[in-house]
Structure formats: C-alpha cells, structure tokens
Amino acid sequence: MSDFPGKISDAFRTFLTEAPAHAAAWSQMVKGLGDAEALDPKTAELAYLAVLAALGRESGVPFHVTMARQAGASREEVISAMLVGLPAAGHAVIQCLPAALAAYDEPR
C-alpha cells in the first residue's frame, strides 16, 4: 500500500496508522485471499472494480484502478468492469465511474 500513498483513502490511511495491529491482521487476511486467487492479477482487479462499483465504494476505486492498469488493463476494460453490474445493480454503478477514469488518466 505504501507504493500508492496518494491512492488510498483517508479512512484507510487512518486505519493503517491508528490501528496498526488490526491493519496487520487485515493485511495478512488479504494476502491469504490473494494467495488463494485463481484469477490472473488483471482479471482479479477488474472483478474487484466491478464489486466496488456495485457497492458504491468509490474510495477504493483509485487504488484498484492503479493496480488494474499496472496489471495491463486498458481504459476500456476499466470502464467495462465498472459498468458490468449495470443490469443487476442499476445506474448506481455509474457513480464510481468518474473516480475510475480520473485515476486511470493520471500520469504514471
């Protein structure tokens, strides 16, 4: 996470600094889930973006867009991932689209 200091939300940054034991436990769990992942990194990040959009969790979008882009995702793939839940979740998924595009379009 320290590789993307500007990409994580203030809430998550506070979690990391103010509750380090909880953050370490959380990180260990996330690593374990990642180790069990059968999807390639790009597909996993695109799927995660779809879930974030469906849940309206805009704060996590910049970090995961950056991860998806680093894993080789195109801008069009990010847009498609953000909108894949449109039929099931409705137009609420479009709320996260501006944050996704802003993150993708930032200079590398």
pLDDT digit string, tens, across residues 1-36: 445 555 788 888 999 999 999 999 999 999 999 899
**Can you tell me which residue has the tokens 């809430």?**
11
Angle at 61 (CA atoms; ends 76, 95), nearest 5 degrees:
80
**Can you tell me which residue has the tokens 């959380």?**
26
Angle at 8 (CA atoms; ends 43, 23), nearest 5 degrees:
95
pLDDT digit string, tens, across residues 52-103: 999 999 999 999 999 999 999 999 999 999 999 999 999 999 999 999 999 9
Q: Which distant-in-sequence residues (6+ apart) come within 8 Å of 27 by Cβ?
A: 1
* Cβ neighbour number for residue 105 with a 10 Å cutoff: 10
The structural domains of the chain, ordered by start, are 10-105 (1.20.1290.10)
Which one-letter DSSP state was computed for residue 7? T
